[in-house]
Amino acid sequence: MGYRAELATLAYYFKSFAYFPIISKPGDEKEGWGGQTGHVQDLWRNKTLEQRWGTAPKPEDTHVFICGAPAMAEEMSKFLEGEGFREHKKKEPGQIHLERFW
């Protein structure tokens, strides 16, 4: 996972920053994976963030950075938009920041 050490360090030092690495196919990994498995959407639906922060993430105080396969990024964006979040664009600031790659 790109920048994993840096992101984990940010999460350690800044309690308002959360980093939840999750993979959907642990059997495909060359090295064993002991972290969370499933999909990013699962982390949001099962309230992992809410439990960690003690409050539900809201568009007024939360930015979401999504990095991964285009299909996952699109599905997660639509899910978040249903909760009032908007994709960030140059002329229209929002709370959803996307990096699609494959």
Query: What Å distances lie between residue 66 and 4, 25, 27, CA to CA?
Result: 14, 18, 23
Residue range 59-100, pLDDT digits in tens: 999 999 888 888 888 989 999 999 999 999 999 999 999 887
- Element at 1 (helix H, strand E): none
CA 10 – CA 26 distance, rounded (Å): 25
Ranges of each domain in the chain: 4-100
Q: What is the CATH number of domain 4-100?
A: 3.40.50.80
**Taking 90 as the threshold, does the pLDDT of residue 2 lie above it?**
no
CA 42 – CA 40 distance, rounded (Å): 5
CA 4 – CA 93 distance, rounded (Å): 26
Band of pLDDT at residue 102, cut at 50, 70 and 90? low
